[in-house]
Structure 1
Amino acid sequence: MVIYLRVSTSEQAASGLGIEAQRATAVAYAERKGLVVIDEFTDEGISAKNLNGRPGALSALAAVRSRQAEGILVAKMDRLSRSVVDGAGLMESARREGWALHFADLDIDTSTPAGEMAANIIISGSQYERRLISQRTRDALAAKRARGERLGAPVRLPAIVVERILRERQQGNTFQSIADGLTADGVPTSRGNRKWFPSTVRAVTVSKHVGEAGALSAAP
């Protein structure tokens, strides 16, 4: 076997804890099943959305396809794939090309019909759960918009800058002209940038600071 390890964030890669935990799980599985590990491939700080851009995964596949190894062993299924399409494609490649996929956390060997079926069911369930979470998030945001709630982080600007933007907007100036004036005057945005855009100006006009600054601008 060759072991494949992956962590998705730079923080996990720097700590090494995620990699070590996966390695320990995979090695324990190999010992329990009497499998011989000949090599190890790692992708650090890389997502599992697809195989593109994952040199470690591609190297593991090259090892089994060149017959250097008889299979790929991963600690967790989602370390190798997080989608039904990719997961099913890998299992079909393994079946067609004569190598095995082992998922240590599930104790599954996809070289058997039962193992392949179980892996497909679990991958489908995982993708279904992720899509449900995504849909719930979209529905919640849509409900907030419908109630008129403002979304995103509030704009952090001095009241005098917000007042200027509101005053110029009330005078009929466009978002573009206001942005150009702020840029020309060297006024920094809430993120410290020197370049203003119409969308940036518009965001200020709908920020939570508008009520306070609006009252200031309306004062005599």
Structure 2
Amino acid sequence: MTKPRSPRTRAATNRAIGYLRVSTGEQVESGAGLAAQRTIITDRADREGWQLDVVADEGLSGKSMNRPALVEALERLDRGDADVLVAAKLDRVSRSVADFARLLDRAQASGWRLVLLDLGVDTSTPAGEFVANTIANSAQYERRLIGQRTREGLAAKRAAGVRLGRPSSLPAEITARIVGEHDGGASLAGIARSLTVEGVPTARGGARWYPSTVRAVLHGQDATAMRAG
């Protein structure tokens, strides 16, 4: 196991990777967003005297960290080939609280800096590290509160007798058949195959059933009511 390197001094941290990301096809085609991010990062690099290399992930979501340019950039930083990862905004790097927290740990363990220009975050400083961790913790706290409120709201609706789930437009006998076959041990794929072969239309009038279509029926109001009865 590689031993974590000591944090690099400010004097040595002059090799920066500027990371850009856009998510929509329109932004990729027009360059909107990329140019603005590049300008902001380049201006900061000029002021800091960084040797800047800019990389970009175009047309990719920020929900996952598994993006080619970002993955390569992080590997270069971990190897010591660069010292700073700089982005115009936090959401260009990550939209996930868990991923962001892991990124902070990774930067600390490998000794490189994370700089987020929209928030004034620079993890090489105590203030910057504090802000970064506060952001991660606050977002996680809010996420848990939302989850708790959602669960409590659903529980209250169930207690009041409110039927949850989307109503089915399938004939009752088809829903009953799906429930019966599934409870009898038939697989989702098997049920979908037999309904398709027999020409039974889906709730939306489609000719082909899929395992996901069958699952939606099983999770719907009518199937739930049948099982409850």
Paired position in structure 1 for 2:217: 200
Amino acid at match of 1:39: V
In the TM superposition, 1:24-173 aligns within 5 A as 24-31=39-46, 33-42=48-57, 44-49=59-64, 51=65, 53-82=66-95, 86-157=99-170, 162=171, 164-165=173-174
Given that residues 41 and 59 in structure 1 are in contact (C-alpha distance below 8 angstroms), is that contact kept between their aligned partners in structure 2?
no
Q: Distance in 2 between matches of 1:198 and 1:105?
A: 43
- Which deviates more, 147-156 or 189-198? 189-198
Among residues 157, 176, 198, which one is paired with 2:181 in the alignment? 176
- Residue 173 of structure 1 and its aligned partner are, at CA, apart by 10
Gaps of 5+ in 2: 1-15, 183-190, 225-229
Determine if the alignment matches structure 1 residue 15 to structure 2 residue 26: yes
Q: Distance in 2 between matches of 1:19 and 1:151?
A: 43
Quick one: structure 1 residues 151 and 112, their matched pair in 2 at CA, closer, same or farther if it must change by over 3 Å?
A: same
Q: Distance in 1 between matches of 2:165 and 2:196?
A: 23
Q: TM-score, normalised by structure 1?
A: 0.66
- Residue 86 of structure 1 and its aligned partner are, at CA, apart by 4.0
Given that residues 20 and 54 in structure 2 are in contact (C-alpha distance below 8 angstroms), is that contact kept between their aligned partners in structure 1?
no
For these two proteins, the number of residue pairs brought into alignment is: 194
> Which structure has the larger Rg over C-alpha atoms?
1
Q: Distance in 1 between matches of 2:198 and 2:47?
A: 70
Paired position in structure 1 for 2:7: none
The Cα RMSD (Å) is: 3.8
Partner SS for 2:203: coil
- Residue 45 of structure 1 and its aligned partner are, at CA, apart by 2.7
Gaps of 5+ in 1: 208-220
Partner SS for 1:149: coil
Q: Distance in 2 between matches of 1:13 and 1:125?
A: 28
- Which deviates more, 113-122 or 24-33? 24-33
- Residue 83 of structure 1 and its aligned partner are, at CA, apart by 5.1
- Residue 124 of structure 1 and its aligned partner are, at CA, apart by 0.9
Given that residues 4 and 73 in structure 1 are in contact (C-alpha distance below 8 angstroms), is that contact kept between their aligned partners in structure 2?
yes
* Cα shift readout 1:75-130 (whole Å, capped 9, x = no counterpart): 22243345555434433433343321101111121111221122111111122122
Q: TM-score, normalised by structure 2?
A: 0.64
Q: Distance in 2 between matches of 1:151 and 1:145?
A: 8
* Cα shift readout 1:106-162 (whole Å, capped 9, x = no counterpart): 1121111221122111111122122222322232223222222233333345xxxx2
In the TM superposition, 1:182-193 aligns within 5 A as 185-191=198-204, 192-193=206-207
Quick one: structure 1 residues 103 and 163, their matched pair in 2 at CA, closer, same or farther if it must change by over 3 Å?
A: closer
Given that residues 41 and 60 in structure 1 are in contact (C-alpha distance below 8 angstroms), is that contact kept between their aligned partners in structure 2?
no
Given that residues 4 and 41 in structure 1 are in contact (C-alpha distance below 8 angstroms), is that contact kept between their aligned partners in structure 2?
yes
Amino acid at match of 1:79: R
Amino acid at match of 2:217: T
Partner SS for 2:220: helix
Quick one: structure 1 residues 43 and 127, their matched pair in 2 at CA, closer, same or farther if it must change by over 3 Å?
A: farther
Quick one: structure 1 residues 174 and 63, their matched pair in 2 at CA, closer, same or farther if it must change by over 3 Å?
A: closer
Given that residues 72 and 102 in structure 1 are in contact (C-alpha distance below 8 angstroms), is that contact kept between their aligned partners in structure 2?
yes
Q: State, as a whole percentage, how many aligned pairs show the same letter.
A: 40
